[in-house]
Chains A and B, each alone.
Chain A
Amino acid sequence: MSFKPKILGIACNWCTYTGADLAGTTRLHYPQNLRVVRVMCSSRINPSFIFRAFQLGADGVLVGGCHPGDCHYNTGNLYARRRLAVTKKILEFAGLEPGRFRVEWISASEGNKFAEVVEEFTAQIKELGPQQKLKIDELREKA
């Protein structure tokens, strides 16, 4: 059976989620491996969400927010940028493949970019194969 990655997408309500909507309404095709959770702002994302997602079986995590300067709350994504950069370094030093976690700025008008990023990221995760390191044991046995 070919490997179908499970990818968690966490998208901010104002830009990336709306961008995803646009990708949908313009009938763009992109891989269906992404499960999107909407948050009000990328700075709402607690780094533990990401650690936990990997533990609960995500093969990759994609975070989407407004472009710096475009945040609906002015500065949310600027805090998020720093915070998620640290998250990335921590995952990397722990030994997880760095390619499994990605942050992208996608605006509400960038439906195309959304589709492209998802396509690219999914291909990358397929290449990396199933994420086994952080996944909790109970899930690993079933897989």
Chain B
Amino acid sequence: MTDFKQIENNLKKEAKRLLEAGEVTVVLAYGRGYDEKHSMPFAAKTSADVEKLVFNEYCNFNMARYLMRYPCGTKIAIAAKAADSRAIVQLIQEEKVRREDLIILGIPAYGMKNQKTDEVVDSKTTCGLYNPPLYNILLGEEVHGQPVVSPYEVLAEYEAMDKEARWAFWKKEFDKCIRCYACRKACPMCYCDPCFIDQSKPRWADKAPQSPGNMMYHLTRFHHLAGRCIDCGECSRACPVDIPLYLFHKKVAKECEEMFGQAAGMKLEDKPVLVDFRVEDSDKILE
């Protein structure tokens, strides 16, 4: 298990140093909520703020979500677990943020827990990586010796279903959706303004939380995140009615990886797969 206290101390130390040296204007990390379990995204701007930083096993938020709130050129330090770091890589690929503006405080974390269910967060609902692929400073010891489980393993059961059963499953799930858009709000890759679902010309779908509009919202959202979703699982954890969105995102990510040979947010020099092509892409992918 990761030593969360040690990471918290290192986080405070680094945050203080960076802020006092004026290397960054803001440190994006976690602050205490109304209890231990409910930490909150927190932006520390002064060395006094640093005392309010926390890190524990419930700090699941993907802080990359908040990077785009700051004007380009703002120097930002950001705490990033494995998936968060992938999100940052993806955002750099998409030219939403610049590498030189960021100081990434990498957090190798094993044993994160879902604050709603207390279940351990692992490759079932996320990408299952423990060490951030990109960072400037690592706040703890790298995690080694944990079994590497493919994040796509959980899909087998759903892929084996026949299409009628799968349709029934998704219809039931999407019918639960109350269209609070917490999934979109939590997602580091959902930054469009306006989101297609908020447009009125054309009006892509009904705004009411009913079956057809929900279906349209979700299918399109899965499509917009194809090859970009870095499988942090935040959308599903944010969902108040517990729709397993991660399953669909994982499926799309798996297909993209198989078809285009590249996982989202792993390398800075990659290009997102859907704004790229190869002349030698096969027509087989359309079958």
Residue of A nearest to B227 (CB): A86
Main secondary structure of the interface of A (DSSP, over half): helix
Give the residue name and chain of the B residue nearest to A91 (CB).
B219
Render B160-197 as a binary contact track against A, CB cut-off 8 A, 1 for contact. Answer: 00011111111100000000000000000000000010
Does A133 sit within 8 A of B, measured CB to CB? yes
Interface size class of B (residues with CB under 8 A): 35 or more
- Asked if B259 CB lies within 8 Å of chain A CBs, one says yes
Interface of chain B: mostly helix, strand, loop or mixed: helix
B223/A86 in contact, CB under 8 A:
yes
Q: Looking at the complex, which one of B165, B248, B285 makes contact with A82 (CB distance below 8 Å)?
A: B285
Asked if B223 and A95 sit within 8 Å, CB to CB, the answer is: no
Give A88 Cβ to nearest chain B Cβ, in Å. Answer: 7
The reply to whether A136 and B279 form a contact with Cβ atoms under 8 Å apart is: no
Interface residues on A, range: 20 to 34
Q: Given A82-B260, A137-B211, are A95 and B168 also a contact pair (CB < 8 Å)? A: yes
The answer on a CB contact under 8 Å between A75 and B277 is: yes
A74 to chain B, nearest CB (A): 11
Q: A48-B204, A78-B279, A83-B274 are in contact. Are A88 and B286 (CB under 8 A)?
A: yes
Q: Interface centre among B252, B260, B279, B285, by most A CB within 10 Å?
A: B285
Complex Cα distance, B273 from A137, in Å, reads 35
A82 and B259 within 8 A (CB): yes
Asked if B35 is at the interface of the complex by the 8 Å CB criterion, the answer is no
Contact residue among B248, B252, B279 (Cβ-Cβ distance under 8 Å from A69):
B279
Q: What residues of chain B lie closer than 8 Å to A29, measured between beta carbons?
A: none
Asked if A87 is at the interface (CB within 8 A of a chain B CB), the reply is: yes
Tell me, yes or no, whether A39 is within 8 Å of chain B by CB. Answer: no
* CB atoms of A52 and B279 under 8 A apart: no
Residues from chain B with Cβ under 8 Å of A82 in the complex? 259-260, 273-274, 276-277, 281, 285
Q: How far is the CB of A100 from chain B (nearest CB, A)?
A: 11
**Which residues 226-272 of B sit at the A interface, judged by CB distance below 8 A?**
226-227, 248, 251-252, 255-256, 259-260
Which of B164, B252, B285 is A90 in contact with, Cβ under 8 Å?
A: B252
A51 within 8 A of B: yes
Contact with B along A30-65 (1 / 0, CB 8 A): 000000000000000001100110010000000000
Which of B171, B212, B220 counts the most chain A CB atoms within 10 A?
Answer: B212
Q: Give Cα distance in the complex from A68 to B286, angstroms.
A: 13
Partner of B219, one of A51, A88, A103: A51
User: B103 contacts which chain A residues (CB < 8 A)?
Assistant: none
CA distance A82 to B283 in the complex (A): 9
Contact of A95 among B166, B252, B277, B283 (CB under 8 A): B166
- The smallest C-beta distance from B156 to any residue of chain A, in angstroms, reads 13
User: Of all chain B residues, which has the CB nearest A55?
Assistant: B212
Q: Which of A47, A68, A84, A95 contacts B279 (CB 8 A)?
A: A68
Check B222–A85 contact: CB distance below 8 A: no
Tell me if A120 counts as interface (CB < 8 A to partner B): no
Which residues of A have CB within 8 Å of B252?
86, 89-90, 93
Closest residue of A by beta carbon distance from B215: A134
A143 within 8 A of B: no
4 further interface pairs, Cβ-Cβ under 8 Å (given A47-B223, A97-B163): A51-B219, A78-B281, A94-B166, A95-B165
15 contacts between A and B (CB under 8 A): A47-B220, A51-B216, A68-B283, A81-B281, A81-B286, A82-B260, A82-B276, A83-B274, A86-B226, A86-B252, A87-B223, A90-B219, A90-B248, A94-B166, A95-B163
The 6 A-B residue pairs with the shortest CB-CB distance in the complex, in nearest-first order:
A95-B167, A78-B277, A85-B285, A95-B166, A136-B212, A89-B255
